[in-house]
Amino acid sequence: MLRGSRGPLIAGAGALALVLLVVFFLVLPKMGQVSDANDELAAAEGQQGTLESQLAALEQAEAAAPEARETIRDVEQQIPPTADEPGLLLLIKNASTDTGVTLATLTPGTPTLDPATGLSTIPLAVTATGGYFQLTDFLYTIETLPRAAKVVNVALAPAGGEAVTTVTNLLEMQASVVLDTSDQSAGPGSVPGPTEDAAAAAPTEGT
Amino acid sequence: MSQVNLLPPDILQAQRYRRLTSGVILAGLLALVLVLGFYLLKSNELGGVNDDIEAQNATNASIQASIADKQRFAELQARAQAQQELLSSAFAGEVSFSALLMDFSRVIPSDAYVDTLTLQTADLAAEDPAATGAQAGLVGSITGGGKAVSIDSLSVFLTRLEQVQGWVNPWMTTVTRNAEVNGFDYSMSVDLTDEVVTDRGRGGAVDAAG
């Protein structure tokens, strides 16, 4: 068969065909596998970079954890999880004692939920008697209480309805103060205890 | 002595073709060996890359385990930030009334005094502060009334009121002679701008520790 003048041609064609077959069915698929594997390796290496960034951020968060815990503790002290009316009354009473003013009335209102902030606001009307600077000091003490308190209105008038007074005489102060609690259902008729979800505070049938 | 090739030319030609065919087959085999060698090289490379992938995946899995372990710190930080924002919203628009009273005591002339004084702020946290009485840039007002020895005193009073940072539009609404005290009764008002809002009331730099 390979004899004669066509022998080298047939042998050459056969060898070329065999080599091409091996290239197409073995070498090229293998090269494709190697390329895919290299891509996969590059992706895995890239993922490592991302994961290391995440880990670095978490390690920073871990380092800042004591500070974060302290922040949470402080905020929970300033905005307690319950209305804590006894504590609230004592804070105001202590403020009046420390500053020498005489408390006449304390009128805590019913807490109302502010959906925008998720906090229940407790309005507190305070009537107190004292000198001008005593009352100023009393207001400062309220503004710097360990519990967050915001004064919104103050009215001063002569104490006991005196016709004439000066800034050094006794004045009666009526102040409106606002305090907050993170209890979304607080006050009379509410779900007892801390409530963080307003939906949970809604009365349900059969309970 | 001359040489004579007695081999017939067709046999010589056939020998030449056989040699050529053998050469072609040998070259083909050599090419095949080279291709197979390349194939083995690639197979070996693939094995190496697969090992690297396995090692890399193990490294990634280890990092992911560490991430899962430390995820609680991210949640803690998010909670602290939420609490901080809660505190900012509680103090939103806060005005220091003790500071207002101190400033008032500094600006009132020594020959005048107040009978009544009302300090009030608008609810800046409301969706529409204007609806609560706040004009643009104004966060509240001080109104009051009292007595002064002379109109000069009241004029000085008005001038001083305007010099306090955040106090604008000082106004005497009435000035009436009072023969009983040989002086004048007055009533006044001054508006408060957002400059009187405390740092924590602006939502910035709220110190959780108070």
- Is the pLDDT at B110 greater than 60, yes or no? yes
Cβ(B121)–Cβ(A110) under 8 Å? no
B59: nearest CB among A4, A48, A180: A48
Closest listed residue to residue A139, CA positions, set B102, B184, B17:
B102
- Quick check: A68 and B79 CB within 8 A? yes
Confidence of residue B208 (pLDDT cuts 50, 70, 90): very low
Mean local confidence (pLDDT), B147-162: 93
- Is the pLDDT at A74 greater than 70, yes or no? yes
Q: Which residue of A has its CA nearest to B121?
A: A152
Q: Distance (Å, rounded) from C-alpha A101 to C-alpha A96?
A: 5
Confidence of residue B130 (pLDDT cuts 50, 70, 90): low
Q: Distance (Å, rounded) from C-alpha B127 to C-alpha B17?
A: 102
Q: pLDDT tens for residues A75-121?
A: 999 999 888 889 999 999 999 999 999 999 999 998 888 888 888 89
**Residue B164, Cβ neighbours under 10 Å: how many?**
20
Cβ(B175)–Cβ(B154) under 8 Å? yes
Q: Between B15 and A55, name the one with better pLDDT.
A: A55
- Is the pLDDT at A127 greater than 60, yes or no? yes
- Quick check: A30 and B46 CB within 8 A? yes
Q: Distance (Å, rounded) from C-alpha A120 to C-alpha B210?
A: 20
As a whole-number percent, the residues of chain B with pLDDT over 70 amount to 90
Q: Is A170 on the interface with B (CB under 8 A)?
A: no
pTM for this model (two decimals) = 0.73
- Is the pLDDT at A191 greater than 60, yes or no? yes
Rg of chain A taking only CA atoms, in angstroms: 40
Q: pLDDT tens for residues B159-188?
A: 999 999 999 999 999 999 988 888 999 999
Q: pLDDT tens for residues A20-72?
A: 999 999 999 999 999 999 999 999 999 999 999 999 999 999 999 999 999 99
- Is the pLDDT at B210 greater than 90, yes or no? no
**Which residues 70-109 in chain B show a CB within 8 A of chain A?**
70-71, 73-74, 76-77, 79-80, 83-84, 86-87, 89-91, 94-98, 100-102, 105, 108
Mean local confidence (pLDDT), B125-150: 74
- Is the pLDDT at B127 greater than 70, yes or no? no
Provide the sign of the torsion angle of the four alpha carbons A90, A96, A99, A102, taken in this order: negative
- Quick check: A58 and B120 CB within 8 A? no
Q: What is the DSSP letter of B197?
A: B
Quick one: pLDDT at residue A206?
A: 32
Q: Distance (Å, rounded) from C-alpha B109 to C-alpha A30?
A: 97
Quick one: pLDDT at residue A141?
A: 96
**Which residues 144-163 in chain B show a CB within 8 A of chain A?**
144, 147
- Quick check: A119 and B86 CB within 8 A? yes
- Is the pLDDT at B80 greater than 90, yes or no? yes
- Is the pLDDT at B74 greater than 60, yes or no? yes
Confidence of residue A136 (pLDDT cuts 50, 70, 90): very high
Mean local confidence (pLDDT), A123-140: 95
Mean local confidence (pLDDT), A12-20: 88
**Residue B172, Cβ neighbours under 10 Å: how many?**
18
Confidence of residue B39 (pLDDT cuts 50, 70, 90): very high
Q: Distance (Å, rounded) from C-alpha B99 to C-alpha B83?
A: 27
Q: Distance (Å, rounded) from C-alpha B93 to C-alpha B139?
A: 8
Confidence of residue A8 (pLDDT cuts 50, 70, 90): confident
Quick one: pLDDT at residue A9?
A: 85
- Is the pLDDT at A169 greater than 90, yes or no? no
